[in-house]
Amino acid sequence: MKVKLRLSLNERTILSLLTVLMISLNLGAQELLAGSAKRLLTPDPLLPVSGGVGAPKPADTRQGDLFARVLVLVKGGEKVAIVSVDNLGWPAALGDKSRKLIKDIPAKNILIGATHTHSAPDAYAFPDAEGKNAADLEYLEWCAGQIAQAVNEAQSKLQPAHLKIAIGEAKGKIAYNYYAPELYDPRCGVIQAIGTAGEAKGKVIATLVNYAIHPEVIGNKRGILSPDLVGPLNERIENRTGGMALFMNGAQGGMVTADNRLENGKEANDWRECQRIGYLLADEALRIVADAPIQKNAGLYCTHKEVEFPIESEMMRFILQHSPLGMGSEDGKSVVATVNLVNLGTAQILTIPGEALPNIGYYLKRNMPTPHPFLFGLTNDAFGYILTKEDFDSFDRYKYVSRTSLGEMTGEIFIKEALDLIEKSPKPQK
């Protein structure tokens, strides 16, 4: 016997609305969402700028502005924030202040990296021989709040997105290795998020550029506060795409730097040279990604592990113990850093808590199971240079980078833990 279910008009309307809502929620769970935002970090008045260990140098002018730039990605229950900060480095002690203010994203899924400009305020509170420092802690606290605001705003602007992902050689006079000119990675990785619905349909939400280079055209000795070449790079991409741009550095240690060499043996170290290199890298990044296929409903996966590194360097131990930010362990024997692995579409992203030398970068990339490997250097922390034990203190050229490394085993430990993270994670897929 068949039983007919009779529903009133109101009941049918409610049922239809519920059905539509359930379908919408289901589709939403399967879509990749992306949102972007940025916040100004330029101090007013200007502060002294830091190029590394030692006292910051006074700055009386600025060329370009410092920013925190954010890309938030969500798919289903997975949420990831990628943050680029215009600074020499950004220690986890500061990153954690922002993470506490960020809503709805797991703290370990918030990747905070530094562009490595050598013309920004001291973010480490580097101590002098007497343990004193010249960092402006109030400014750093303000920056932490600005970063959190940018991430929260990016979440409020989430919208369905497709991706374009590509890696290719960035051609032209952009970078070289100061220690061995040809020993650097010329590949540039690009991830572009493109809106798929409403007013954002077909429009670029954000373009992420991943390239290994020291942005130190200007440096910290000329009285100038600046994002260096990264500022013009971001400006050029934003002007040409209409979406936000952000730069994540790569394995640029020892010493992959901007190719600002002149024919007379000198170097160009002004804002005009920052623009030349920044614009060229931006144009190359857009060329590389231009013909990349659209990846619809790209997958998103994020994991992490805590890695402990022994501190063998007396100088690094002194810095970490005497910085007021609280970056080292109480006994001064080790530090712990978070290493992330993210699969985004066909891209696999691995974070590096410092400045890995190019050979480490090459080795890791060819062990990542994807044609689109990305390395985010100086991310989640920046504990100096990362060398293999074979390179550590082996050459006169490497005396400085060895002295400003945690120790001989840093590279060995990082490579082992990174490969373990790669092996235990799913392979990236569309």
Q: Render pLDDT for 414-426 as a digit per residue (tens, 0 to 9).
A: 999 999 999 999 9
Residue closest to 382 by CA, chosen among 91, 26, 3? 91
What's the pLDDT score for residue 25? 44
Dihedral sign for Cα atoms in the order 173, 256, 336, 306: positive
Q: Which residues contact 76 (CB under 8 A, 6 or more apart)?
A: 29, 30, 300
* pLDDT for 6 beyond 60: no
What's the pLDDT score for residue 29? 52
Q: Taking residues 62-82, report their average pLDDT.
A: 98
| Residue type (1 letter), 367 | N
* pLDDT for 158 beyond 60: yes
Give CA–CA dist 56/63, Å, rounded.
18
* pLDDT for 116 beyond 90: yes
**Strand 347-351 with 372-376, pairing:** parallel
Give CA–CA dist 361/356, Å, rounded.
7
In Å, what is the CA distance from 306 to each residue of 42, 100, 359, 363, 370?
32, 18, 23, 21, 24
In Å, what is the CA distance from 350 to each residue of 36, 249, 362, 382, 398?
21, 12, 13, 14, 25
Res. 144 pLDDT band, cuts 50 70 90: very high
**Strand 61-62 with 175-177, pairing:** unpaired
Residue 255 preceded by cis peptide, ω within 30: yes
Asked which of 4-13, 124-133, 173-182, 228-237 is least confident by mean pLDDT, the reply is 4-13
What's the pLDDT score for residue 62? 97
> Radius of gyration (Cα) for the chain, nearest Å?
23
Q: Taking residues 231-256, report their average pLDDT.
A: 97
| pTM for the full predicted model | 0.92
Res. 10 pLDDT band, cuts 50 70 90: low
Give CA–CA dist 387/258, Å, rounded.
21
H or E, element range at 91? none
In Å, what is the CA distance from 299 to each residue of 193, 359, 427?
13, 29, 11
In Å, what is the CA distance from 7 to each residue of 14, 23, 359?
10, 21, 70
What's the pLDDT score for residue 245? 98
CB-facing half-sphere around the CA of 199: CA atoms within 13 A: 2
Query: Which tens digit of pLDDT belongs to each residue from 337-377?
Result: 999 999 999 999 999 999 999 999 999 999 999 999 999 99
What's the pLDDT score for residue 3? 40
Mean pLDDT of the chain: 92
Share of the chain above pLDDT 90, in %: 83
In Å, what is the CA distance from 396 to each residue of 105, 179, 359?
45, 10, 18
